A and B are shown apart, each in its own frame.
Chain A
Amino acid sequence: MTSGWPAALSGVRLHVVSGKGGTGKTTVAAALVLALATGGRRVLLIEVEGRQGIAQLFDTPPLPYEERKVAVAPGGGEVRALAVDPEAALLEYLEMFYRLGIAGRTLRRMGAIEFATTLAPGLRDVLLTGKVKECVTRTGADGRHVYDAVVLDAPPTGRVVSFLDVTKEMAELAKTGPIHKQSEGVVRLVHSPQTAVHLVTLLEDLPVTETLEAVAALGKADLPTGAVIVNRVRPQWLPDRSVAAAAGGRMDAERIRSGLSCAGLDLPVEVVDGLVAETVEHAVQVHAEAAASIRLDGEPAESLPRLELPQLIDGVHLGSLYELAEALVEQGVEVRRTSGVRV
């Protein structure tokens, strides 16, 4: 696995962020959008799961189905956000081809839209990805892209391939017509070098297993894998040789005690015992993290770029998002300008 952000990723216009539940996927997507917008780019963050995670992170009221500016990135960049609602997307869609007017709203109230999206589960994903594609490819009056990049807070790893690869479902359902055309366009975009699917993980057994499974599934579906983003990385304070000893249960309490008392700290026995116990737990964890890291490096056929984000002890708030974004920029995260935005 290589460190940092390869040049090819700077040319990517659609950054799809997925990961196992609980790994901090939405936070990482938000940090990524700030990092990409740094230095005067305009970047859009899209969520599709209806949980209003973006609004919570950026401390704004719930997002409507409308692109809103939510933050300013360092160096004058602009972050906009959009929560795509499949019902609104379907109505917008029908409106383009048929004039529904009040009938459209009535149908919505009756659950007709839910009915249509239930009838064809793939339809929901087609509408969502269709909207994403429209944002990625939209151009302004100057003929240039409106956004330098789009970041998609995508469904978790278990669902991301079927979400992006809508062809299979829709090919059978719609052989002609607007949906067919739209899903074709989406398929072209997500299979092109303009797209990268980033996978957020923790250095733990289950998230790493899911990440490796996702890498394999993406490869099989011919979808471009981007970077593996290791989230919540903790500092390792122990010297390497002490890690193995402590993890093996061979922690020398006497050595720690004498080290502490040499420095003039005379701690009661239960404090030293507690410290030793914490050290052992820490070492077992460092040990397990190292094993997880080796699996991430070794198991995929092709080595993947890796980015790391530190664990935030204070929890995630708007200020810490900027901290995470800075960490990404330091690791080389950037996007080439393709929009007409001038700062």
Chain B
Amino acid sequence: MSPGRVAPRLDIDALLDDARTRVVVCCGSGGVGKTTTSAALAIRAAERGRRTVVLTIDPARRLAQALGLTMLDNEPRRVVGVPADGDAPAADAPRGVHARASIGVDSRPPGELHAMMLDMRRTFDEMVQAHADPDRAEKIIANPFYQTISSSFSGTQEYMAMEKLGQLAATGEWDLIIVDTPPSRSALDFLDAPQHMSTFLDGRMIRLPSSPARAGGRGLRKLLGAGFALFTKAVSTILGGQLLADASAFVQAFDTMFGGFRERAEATYALLRSPGTVFVVVAAPEPDALREAAYFVDRLSGEDAPLAGLVLNRTHPVLAPLSAGSARDAADGLRGAPLAAAVLRLHADRADLADREARLLARFTNAHPEVAVVRVPVVAGDIADLDGLREIGTRLAVGPTEPAAGSIGLALLVPGRSGGLG
């Protein structure tokens, strides 16, 4: 149905099963289901035998509850019920047409799933404590300027997510780390963050107002001449003297830590580029989300970062091979069968929507033919528990089922419910 090229299929199970895969970073614009996808991937990996930890950024309450994350504690916690144990065989019970792809729990050693929610402020504090002696650390943490930076600097969340990833990787405890990325305005922010933040903290600009005697400061002053004096005057008029004083105190206290920070940012950067790290771009079948996904793909290939592929989330594949036009014609011709007419009309809408989604994906694939794709059919209703996440995991692994492949069990389409046609 989709015109143009066909993208290679993203094989999620092969990716998760490969022992060389150590870090999976899920990125994409806000509202595409990134956090849910991360959690679903993590459960699937754990139930396929890997010792997995998932780092979530800001999970919705129900998702957090499903993972047992009832409080923000910045450390991984074991998720109870993963892998599903013998007396609750939800995961390995045959599930309709997807049974052949069911999770092979019995043939592998049991994995484990741990989950955590990022506490940005605490991660930053811990980083300061690790790099400075207790006295100095205390001074830094009490500084108002530090408090602003650690809680509201744009990019802090991205930076801290990467810092936490670095910490998790350094323990050597995990077979696989799955990282959700912050809901950035643009998916790209996240890649820039470590660089941006360390440039800022390490940069010359921040030293200017505090250390006029430094060579850099003097050079810049000479360069800018009177303009610079006006600028500092303007900045201090606008921002107030106290802020500059705080900034200055912060910089002095921070001075000895700059090297450590830079090293760390560089180490995280290197981790993101090591062979064990792969990126998965998540998008919804909407023009905006796919445009962001395309930028991200370009950016990753520009940096030689390994891209596993695109997860096209929440698609609406047609389940009955009947064109929108003939369904509408048939509905128009029906008399006295309101339910049958409604069924045909909603099918026609769905076929149009599927067509649009296929066109959007085709446009992406024409521009990026090498990017592997898996389409994940939408799960109707909300995902509120581990079984819902398992269902998404199955769909991630299997993709949409062609309607001609056979009849489809209804129970499968209504997660959490059993029973068929009644």
Contacts and interface: CB of A to CB of B under 8 A. Distances in A.
Contact of A100 (B230, B343, B417): B230
A343 interface: no
B296 to A, nearest CB: 14
Contact of A209 (B60, B352, B408, B417): B60
Interface string A271-282: 111111111111
Interface in A59-106: 94, 97-104, 106
Contacts of A274: 318-322, 403, 408
A102 B203 CA distance: 23
Contact of B31 (A23, A253, A316): A23
A120 B420 CA distance: 59
B23 to A, nearest CB: 25
A275 B205 contact: no
Interface stretch (A109-117, A144-152, A185-193, A218-226): A109-117
Given A49-B185, A94-B234, A273-B407, A106 B227 contact: yes
Contacts, number: 244
A103 B407 contact: no
A116 B239 contact: yes
B346 interface: yes
Given A98-B230, A103-B225, A106-B227, A123 B238 contact: yes
A263 B410 contact: no
A167 interface: no
Interface residues on A, range: 35 or more
Q: Most A CB atoms within 10 A — which of B32, B183, B228, B346? A: B346
B349 interface: yes
A313 B32 CA distance: 18
Most chain B Cβ neighbours within 10 Å, of A97, A262, A275, A314: A275
B421 A276 contact: yes
B410 A276 contact: yes
Nearest to A312: B356
B12 to A, nearest CB: 22
A262 B337 contact: yes
Interface string B376-414: 001011100000000000000000000110111011011
A112 B203 CA distance: 11
A318 interface: no
Interface stretch (A36-44, A236-244, A327-335): A236-244
Interface string B163-204: 000000000000000000001011000000000000010010
Contact of B380 (A111, A175, A285, A316): A285
A237 B228 CA distance: 67
B142 interface: no
Contacts of B382: 204-205, 288
A234 B105 CA distance: 40
Contacts of A97: 234, 237
B30 A205 contact: no
Contacts of B29: 21-22
A107 B225 CA distance: 11
B298 to A, nearest CB: 16
Contacts of B404: 270
Contacts of B252: none
B227 A51 contact: no
A103 B228 contact: yes
A316 B289 CA distance: 13
Most chain B CB within a 10 A radius of its CB, from A26, A264, A281, A284? A281
Contact of B247 (A119, A121, A156, A271): A119
B189 to A, nearest CB: 11
Contacts of A256: 339-340, 343
A106 B410 CA distance: 66
A115 B243 CA distance: 13
A233 interface: no
Interface stretch (B2-10, B79-87, B146-154, B302-310): B146-154
B286 interface: yes
Contact of A273 (B152, B339, B408, B414): B408
B340 A260 contact: yes
Contacts of B360: 315
Nearest to B330: A265
Contacts of B422: 248-252
Given A267-B322, A276-B410, A173 B185 contact: no
Contacts of A156: 30
B238 to A, nearest CB: 5
A270 B226 CA distance: 80
A269 interface: yes
Nearest to A22: B31
B421 A251 contact: yes
Contact of A22 (B32, B200, B243, B330): B32
A263 B335 contact: yes
A8 interface: no
B340 to A, nearest CB: 3
Interface in B321-357: 321-322, 330, 333-347, 349-350, 352-353, 356
17 contacts: A49-B185, A94-B231, A103-B226, A107-B224, A107-B228, A112-B205, A121-B154, A175-B240, A237-B343, A239-B338, A251-B410, A271-B320, A273-B320, A275-B347, A277-B320, A277-B408, A284-B414
Q: Give the top 6 A-B pairs by smallest Cβ distance, nearest first.
A: A22-B31, A103-B227, A21-B30, A274-B320, A259-B340, A259-B337
Interface of A: 20-23, 26, 49, 51, 53, 94, 97-104, 106-107, 110-112, 115-116, 118-121, 123, 156, 158, 173-175, 177-179, 204-207, 209, 234-235, 237-239, 242, 247-253, 255-256, 259-260, 262-265, 267, 269-282, 284-285, 287-288, 313-316
Given A21-B31, A277-B413, 11 more contacts: A21-B30, A98-B230, A106-B223, A115-B206, A179-B239, A237-B345, A239-B342, A251-B421, A265-B330, A269-B407, A276-B421
Interface of B: 29-32, 60-62, 145, 148, 152-154, 183, 185-186, 200, 203, 205-206, 220, 223-228, 230-231, 233-235, 237-240, 242-243, 247, 284, 286-289, 318-322, 330, 333-347, 349-350, 352-353, 356, 360, 378, 380-382, 403-404, 406-408, 410-411, 413-414, 417-422
